[in-house]
Amino acid sequence: MIIITQPSATEAQIDSIVARVHEFGLDAQISRGASRVIIGVIGAEDLVREKPLAAMPGVEAIVPVLKPYRLASYDARGKASAVAVGGIMIGATHDVALICGPCSVESEDQIVSIARKVKKMGAKLLRGGAFKPRTSPYSFQGLREDGLRYLAEARAQTGLPIITEIMDARDLPIVERYADCLQIGTRNMQNFTLLKEVGRSRLPVLLKRGFSATINDLIMSAEYILSEGNPNVLLCERGIRTFETATRYTLDLNAVPLLKSKTHLPVIVDPTHGIGLRDFVPRMSLASLAAGADALLIEVHDSPDLAKSDGEQAITPDTFADLVPRLRAVAQAVGRAL
Ligand code: PEP
Ligand code: MN
C-alpha cells in the first residue's frame, strides 16, 4: 500500500501517519517529492485498517498494491484454471464447451428430447432450471425435485453432465444429490450466505454476474466461494442493466477479456439472457466466442412459444444446429475448437 500525503501536510502529520503504520506492525518507507511525501507501507497489507488511515490529517490518498481478491486473482496461480464439470473441462483448454438446455425443466419428455438433440449437435453439458427465480411470484416457479429427477434421467440417457440453479441454501442437499454443477443466478450473486454455503460444496459453481454488479463485484463474489474452500468457480457474463431498453439486458463482452486478465477462473458467456431476443442469439453467440469465452450458455427449447419461462429468447434445436458450424469457424479463427 502507498500513502500519498497532501502538499500541505506538516512534518508532525507525516510523523503521526508513520507512527500509525508502525502501530499496525508494518514498516514505512518515506520518499520525498517536490510537493508531496509518498509513504510506502511494507508488510502484510491486510493488517492495515485503511479507512481510519485515509481519514488522518495530511493524507490525500491511499493506493492499495494488492488486489482485494487474492484467491481469484490471476496472480494467485499465474495461469488460467480449468474446472471439470462432470468430466468436461472448461477453461485453460483449447476447447470451448457448449452448455444448452431450456430455461425451465417442464417435463421428463421435454428435457430428455432437448438433451438428445443438443447432444447430437455438439453440446457438452445440459442446463435446465428446477428452482426458478421469477420476477413475479405468480409465474412458474419450477418443478423442484421432480425437475432434478428429470434432469438426471436426461443425463442417464445422453451422458451430458447437468447444471442447475440453486436459490436457497436449504435446498443444497437435494440439489447436490442430482447436479454436476450448481448455478448461482444473477439475482443471488451477492447472496453472501448462499455463496458461503456453495463454497463448502464438493460441486463446481457457475456464478452468474448480477445484472447491476460491476466486474469487481463479480470477482469478489467468486472470492466468497473460493475462500470457503471450493476452488471450482466458473464466472458467467449474462448481461447487465443499462439505459438501453431495446434489448432485455446489455451483454457486456468487455467483461470477457477483463475477467480473463484479472482472474484465473474460466469465463462463460450467456448470450441468451444478455440480449433476450431469440433472433439475435446466434450472432451474439458468435461474438461471445470471438471475445474469448471458454463456454457458451445457450437456451434451447423444442417449442419456444410454449415455454414456461424465457420462450422469447430460446432458440430451437434447428437454429442451434445451424449455429454450431458457424461457431466452429469462429472458434478456429480465434485459435480454439468446439
Ligand atoms: C437462467 O439461467 O435461466 C436464469 C434465470 O439466469 P439469470 O440468473 O442470468 O437471469
Ligand atoms: Mn432463463
CATH code, 136: 3.20.20.70
- Whole-structure pTM value: 0.91
pLDDT tens figures, 93-130: 999 999 999 999 999 999 999 999 999 999 999 999 99
Residues 38 and 171 in one domain: no
Q: CB of 311 closer than 6 A to ligand 1?
A: no
Residue found by looking up cell 472458434 in the block:
331
Residue 314 has pLDDT above 90, yes or no: yes
Which of 44, 63, 82 is the last residue before a domain boundary? 63
> In this structure, which ligand is nearest to the CA of 268?
1
Indicate whether 327 belongs to any domain.
yes
For ligand 2, a single-atom ion, which residues have Cβ within 5 Å? 103, 310
Range of the domain at 265: 74-333
Residues 218 and 247 in one domain: yes
What is the CB-side half-sphere exposure of residue 115 using CA atoms within 13 A? 27
Please report, in angstroms and rounded to a whole number, the separation of the first and last CA atoms in the chain.
Answer: 43
Looking at residue 217, the DSSP 8-state letter turns out to be H
Indicate whether 93 belongs to any domain.
yes
pLDDT tens figures, 199-242: 999 999 999 999 999 999 999 999 999 999 999 999 999 999 99
pLDDT tens figures, 32-42: 988 889 999 88
Burial of 234 (0-12, 13-18, 19+ CB in 10 A): buried
Residues 55 and 115 in one domain: no
Residue 44 has pLDDT above 80, yes or no: no
Confidence of residue 50 (pLDDT cuts 50, 70, 90): confident
Residues 153 and 10 in one domain: no
**Three-state secondary structure of 91-110:** CCCCECEEEEECCECCCHHH
Q: CB of 238 closer than 6 A to ligand 1?
A: yes
Distance CA 230, CA 81 (A): 13
Residues 27 and 156 in one domain: no
Q: 63 vs 219, which has greater pLDDT?
A: 219
Residues 31 and 83 in one domain: no
Residues 152 and 22 in one domain: no
Tell me the three cell numbers of residue 130.
Answer: 428446477
Indicate whether 68 belongs to any domain.
no
Distance CA 255, CA 274 (A): 12
Q: CB of 185 closer than 6 A to ligand 1?
A: yes
Handedness of CA 308, 312, 314, 317 (dihedral sign): positive
Tell me the CA distances in angstroms from 336 to 249, 262, 293, one per residue in order.
27, 21, 10
Indicate whether 263 belongs to any domain.
yes
Closest CA to 127 of 92, 95, 88: 88
Closest CA to 161 of 180, 183, 184, 182: 180
Long-range contact pairs involving 15-22 (C-beta distance under 8 Å, separation at least 24): 16/56, 16/57, 16/58, 17/53, 17/56, 17/58, 17/59, 20/53, 20/56, 21/48, 21/53
Q: 47 vs 337, which has greater pLDDT?
A: 337
Q: Give kind and range of the element (H or E) at residue 14.
A: helix 11-23
Closest CA to 115 of 86, 151, 81, 141: 151
Q: How far is the CA of 299 from the centre of ligand 2 (A)?
A: 7
Residues 123 and 34 in one domain: no
Q: What is the CATH number of the domain that holds 55?
A: 3.30.70.1140
Please report the pLDDT score of residue 43 as a whole number: 78
Residues 178 and 122 in one domain: yes
Which of 63, 92, 115 is the last residue before a domain boundary? 63
Residue 163 has pLDDT above 80, yes or no: yes
Q: Whose CA is nearest to atom 4 of ligand 1?
A: 185
Please report the pLDDT score of residue 225 as a whole number: 98
Indicate whether 338 belongs to any domain.
no
Tell me the CA distances in angstroms from 166 to 38, 48, 131, 213, one per residue in order.
48, 36, 7, 19
Please report the pLDDT score of residue 153 as a whole number: 98
Residues 169 and 246 in one domain: yes
Q: How far is the CA of 193 from the centre of ligand 2 (A)?
A: 23
Whole-number average pLDDT of the chain = 96
What is the CB-side half-sphere exposure of residue 207 using CA atoms within 13 A? 36
Please report the pLDDT score of residue 53 as a whole number: 87
Distance CA 315, CA 285 (A): 12
Please report the pLDDT score of residue 89 as a whole number: 98
Confidence of residue 257 (pLDDT cuts 50, 70, 90): very high
Look at the chain and report how many structural domains it folds into.
Answer: 2
Q: Give kind and range of the element (H or E) at residue 15.
A: helix 11-23
* Atom in ligand 1 nearest the alpha carbon of residue 133: 5
Distance CA 68, CA 219 (A): 9
Residue 47 has pLDDT above 90, yes or no: no
Q: CB of 271 closer than 6 A to ligand 1?
A: no
Q: CB of 248 closer than 6 A to ligand 1?
A: no
The string over 3-34, giving b where at least 16 C-beta atoms fall within 10 Å of a residue's C-beta and e elsewhere, is bebeeebeeebbebbbebbeebebebeeeeee
Mutate to test the pocket of ligand 1, among 162, 208, 269, 299 (most ligand atoms within 8 A of CB): 208
Please report the pLDDT score of residue 49 as a whole number: 77
Which of 39, 63, 87 is the last residue before a domain boundary? 63
3-state secondary structure of 274: helix
Residues 23 and 114 in one domain: no
Looking at residue 196, the DSSP 8-state letter turns out to be H
Distance CA 88, CA 83 (A): 8
Q: Whose CA is nearest to atom 6 of ligand 1?
A: 185
Q: How far is the CA of 120 from the centre of ligand 2 (A)?
A: 22
pLDDT tens figures, 70-101: 899 999 999 999 999 999 999 999 999 999 99
Indicate whether 69 belongs to any domain.
no
Residue 302 has pLDDT above 90, yes or no: yes
Indicate whether 51 belongs to any domain.
yes
- Overall average pLDDT of the 188-195 stretch: 98
Mutate to test the pocket of ligand 1, among 104, 238, 251 (most ligand atoms within 8 A of CB): 238
What is the CB-side half-sphere exposure of residue 238 using CA atoms within 13 A? 24
Residue 150 has pLDDT above 80, yes or no: yes
Residues 232 and 144 in one domain: yes
Q: CB of 208 closer than 6 A to ligand 1?
A: yes
Q: How far is the CA of 165 from the centre of ligand 1 (A)?
A: 8
Distance CA 268, CA 294 (A): 6
Indicate whether 185 belongs to any domain.
yes
